[in-house]
Amino acid sequence: KPGRDIDVGGALSDVPRVTEAIREAGRDARLRHKQLGVPIVVWQDGQIVEIPPDEIVVDPPPTPLNPEP
């Protein structure tokens, strides 16, 4: 938005929050691919690998009883 100042450096300096946002985005992407029946492509052992929807592993969202690793 015009006139809106964003402190990008400040936002990115909050490492735990940025890390959680990246994990959540990855979890959401895997879940969406699995639900839509679309394979996902990943980099694994130096190669591009296509993972079929039925083999996509979606971790449960973190909760107080199930914290992030």
Residue 32 CB neighbours (<10 A): 13
Q: Is 4 helix (H, G, I), strand (E, B) or coil?
A: coil
Indicate the average pLDDT of the chain: 86
* Backbone CA torsion sign across 66, 61, 46, 48: positive
- The predicted-structure confidence for 29-57, as pLDDT tens digits, reads as follows 999 999 999 999 999 999 999 999 999 99
Closest C-alpha to 52, from 66, 64, 41: 41
pTM: 0.69
Q: Residue 6 pLDDT more than 80?
A: no
DSSP SS3 for 50 = strand
